[in-house]
């Protein structure tokens, strides 16, 4: 029996290869944050305070789309297609398989964050991240929370046909109220309270500290980190309790 | 070779197996055992309890009660060693769409401690010309062969085939049957579920006919045809040209009577035939709704 570490590496490599095979999906996956950066960069051109909001906002959105959205879709698809059930019938340990899926998603997060950081340096006068530790800690926390919540959401999606509606029904309102495209200060009070209780606004809060100078070190963002940690715990419970390896058909 | 390990223990033992889904009792006290090297068929209409039974043996479902042993293991806990020694072909299950046939088989080979050679399995399942094709571009029959290839790559001792040829055209079915027969030559044990009678008759050493969660009859396909209680059918055309069909448990005396009478009257029994019921007749009789 191959060791778990080797099996995990193989599964990860296989997932990566399959990811790149679906060229249009891979292309748009990386193009999307660039399109947003280009559009908003043009719209708020010359207003550095706006750029200081947009860049971490898009970094936060990238974390959410590469983990939450991607895993909710992929797990639903693989469950409906019977891929999960087939894998479950082999000696590959379930944890190794799911770990391979998660690492694949995390790799996309890392690539997108790198794109945003470079674009911030080259086009938006942000310089290199002033607080790299804050950036890394929040990306890791955000990835953990959103990946688990995405896995949990996939259990609530009844069929692959309904996946875009369900996933976007969560994703779009959350990015709108969480200050991806504008400073969350301009959001009405009750919406801001909701946003601050959800994981994306605290994530953007922490990423702002990591990416934009003068927003404090990690010690200034501990509340935000705690909110993300809370959602990661919620995600663990819901993802594990609801996990199903096969589609439920009437 | 695994076959040389001729253990006297049965490959599969099922006793008093029951499975309920809430109020519905899908499996009601099924018992059978499958010897090593045997192809055993579970035959029955949809909803008979076949898939529930098989999925309990495969470790996908938990039984409500009863005793189950697969290669000496209780499949409920899904021990990894058991999963390494069985191969499962599900009724329908997806494959990575963007993987080629050879890549998918090679990747699955890496899950097992002693996999077969990838090219050998590609040859065995008739996928040589498709080895570089992506799974999404395969026809239904080719996908089914890839299913079989993925189940065989770990060199399993026991293979579960759930409705392996559903949706096949006749040529593809015969090709698949040939492949399944070749599993017997490799010394594999096969548990086959099907609702095709001809498939059970062609492939299985023994068949259990299941309906309503119970086994109604069990035996070799030919034994089932002539089993206790099944009757001979004697048909002939009488002098008025009418076709008479008589069923009997004792064809010898019936024939003696009929032929004696005909001879005495100087007539001939035209189109005289004596047939035993086929597996199909037994199946239809057993599974007919009362």
DSSP string, B122-134: HHHTT-GGGTTSB
Q: Enter the tokens of residue A191.
A: 């919406």
What is the extent of the structural domain holding B206?
A: 2-219
SS3 state at B191:
strand
Residues B237 and B273 in one domain: yes
pLDDT (0 to 100) of residue B109: 96
Chain-centroid distance, C-alpha B2 = 22
What is the strand order of the sheet B270-275 is part of? B243-248, B232-237, B270-275
In a domain, B288, yes or no: no
B 132-151 near A (Cβ less than 8 A): 134, 150
User: Which residue from B minimizes the CA distance to A23?
Assistant: B98
User: Which residue from A minimizes the CA distance to B152?
Assistant: A90
Residues B142 and B253 in one domain: no
E strand or H helix at B32, and its extent?
Answer: strand B24-34
SS3 state at A194:
helix
SS3 state at A249:
coil
In a domain, B147, yes or no: yes
SS3 state at A192:
helix
pLDDT (0 to 100) of residue B196: 83
From the CA atom positions of chain A, what is the Rg in Å?
18
User: Is pLDDT above 80 for B284?
Assistant: no
In a domain, B120, yes or no: yes
Between residues B166 and A175, the one the model is more confident about:
A175
Q: Which of A93-102, A241-250, B10-19, B161-170 has the lowest mean pLDDT?
A: A241-250
User: Is pLDDT above 80 for B227?
Assistant: no
Q: Which residues of A touch B111 (CB under 8 A)?
A: 2, 7, 90-92
Asked whether this complex has an ipTM greater than 0.85, the answer is yes
Alpha-carbon gap: B84 to the closest alpha carbon of chain A (Å): 5
Contact A90 B112 (CB under 8 A): yes
pLDDT (0 to 100) of residue A149: 96
pLDDT (0 to 100) of residue B6: 47
CATH of the domain at B19: 3.40.50.300
Q: Where are the domains of chain A?
A: 4-241
In a domain, B171, yes or no: yes
Q: Which of B173, B196, B219 is the last residue of a domain?
A: B219
pLDDT below 70 — which residues of chain A?
A: 1-2, 249-250
In a domain, B226, yes or no: no
Between residues B30 and B124, the one the model is more confident about:
B30
Q: Which of A54-63, A116-125, B64-73, B234-243 has the lowest mean pLDDT?
A: B234-243
Q: Which of B170, B195, B219 is the last residue of a domain?
A: B219
Confidence of residue B289 (pLDDT cuts 50, 70, 90): low
Q: Which of B188, B219, B250 is the last residue of a domain?
A: B219
User: Is pLDDT above 60 for B231?
Assistant: yes
Percent share of chain B, pLDDT over 90: 48
User: Which residue from A minimizes the CA distance to B88?
Assistant: A89
Domain count for chain B, please give it.
2
pLDDT (0 to 100) of residue B7: 54
Residues B141 and B7 in one domain: yes
In a domain, B225, yes or no: no
pLDDT (0 to 100) of residue B228: 46
pLDDT digits (tens, 9 = 90+) for B95-154: 888 999 999 999 999 999 999 999 999 998 889 999 999 999 998 888 988 999 999 999
- pTM metric for this prediction: 0.83
pLDDT (0 to 100) of residue B147: 93
pLDDT (0 to 100) of residue B193: 92
Residues B253 and B142 in one domain: no
Between residues B267 and B27, the one the model is more confident about:
B27
Residues B176 and B197 in one domain: yes
Residues B39 and B155 in one domain: yes
Residues B15 and B74 in one domain: yes
Residues B263 and B237 in one domain: yes
């Amino acid at each position: 029996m191959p060791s778990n570490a080797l099996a995990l590496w193989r599964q990860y490599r296989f997932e990566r290869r399959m990811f790149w095979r679906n060229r249009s999906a891979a292309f748009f996956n990386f193009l999307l944050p660039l399109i947003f950066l280009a559009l908003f960069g043009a719209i708020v051109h010359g207003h550095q305070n706006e750029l200081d909001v947009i860049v971490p906002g898009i970094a936060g959105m990238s974390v959410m789309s590469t983990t939450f959205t991607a895993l909710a879709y992929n797990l639903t698809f693989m469950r409906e297609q019977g891929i999960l059930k087939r894998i479950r019938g082999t000696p590959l340990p379930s944890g190794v398989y799911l770990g391979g899926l998660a690492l694949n998603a995390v790799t996309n997060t890392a690539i997108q964050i790198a794109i945003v950081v470079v674009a911030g340096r080259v086009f938006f006068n942000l310089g290199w991240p002033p607080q790299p530790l804050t950036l890394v800690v929040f990306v890791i926390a955000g990835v953990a929370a959103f990946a688990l919540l995405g896995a949990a959401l996939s259990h609530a999606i009844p069929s692959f046909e309904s996946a875009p509606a369900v996933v976007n029904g969560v994703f779009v309102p959350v990015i709108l109220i969480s200050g991806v495209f504008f400073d969350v200060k301009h959001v009405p009070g009750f919406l801001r309270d909701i946003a601050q209780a959800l994981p994306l606004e605290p994530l953007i809060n922490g990423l702002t500290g990591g990416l934009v100078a003068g927003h404090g070190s990690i010690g200034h963002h501990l509340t935000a980190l705690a909110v993300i940690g809370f959602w990661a715990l919620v995600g663990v419970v819901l993802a594990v309790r609801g996990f199903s390896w096969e589609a439920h058909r009437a | 070779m695994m076959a040389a390990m001729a253990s006297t223990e049965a490959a599969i033992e099922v006793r008093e197996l029951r499975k309920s889904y809430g109020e519905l009792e899908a499996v009601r006290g099924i018992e059978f055992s499958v010897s090593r090297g045997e192809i055993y068929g579970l035959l029955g209409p949809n909803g008979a309890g076949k898939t529930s039974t098989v999925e309990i043996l495969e470790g996908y479902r938990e039984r409500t009660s009863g005793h189950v042993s697969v290669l000496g293991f209780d499949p409920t806990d899904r021990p990894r060693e058991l999963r390494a020694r069985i191969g499962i072909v599900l009724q329908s299950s997806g494959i990575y769409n963007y993987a080629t046939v050879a890549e998918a088989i090679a990747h699955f080979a890496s899950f097992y401690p002693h996999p077969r050679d990838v090219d050998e399995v590609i040859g065995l399942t008739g996928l040589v010309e498709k080895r570089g094709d992506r799974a999404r571009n395969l026809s239904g029959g080719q996908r089914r062969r890839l299913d079989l290839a993925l189940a065989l790559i770990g060199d399993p001792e026991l293979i579960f085939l759930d409705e392996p040829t559903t949706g096949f055209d006749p040529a593809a079915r015969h090709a698949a049957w040939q492949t399944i027969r070749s599993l017997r030559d490799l010394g594999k044990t096969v548990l086959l579920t099907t609702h095709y009678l001809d498939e059970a008759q062609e492939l299985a050493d023994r068949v259990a006919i299941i309906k309503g969660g119970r086994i109604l009859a069990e035996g070799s396909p030919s034994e089932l045809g002539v089993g206790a209680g099944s009757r001979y059918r004697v048909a002939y055309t009488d002098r008025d040209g009418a076709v008479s069909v008589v069923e009997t448990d004792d064809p010898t005396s019936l024939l003696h009577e009929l032929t004696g009478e005909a001879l005495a009257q100087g007539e001939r029994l035209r189109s005289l035939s004596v047939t035993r019921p086929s597996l199909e007749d037994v199946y239809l009789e057993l599974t007919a709704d009362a």
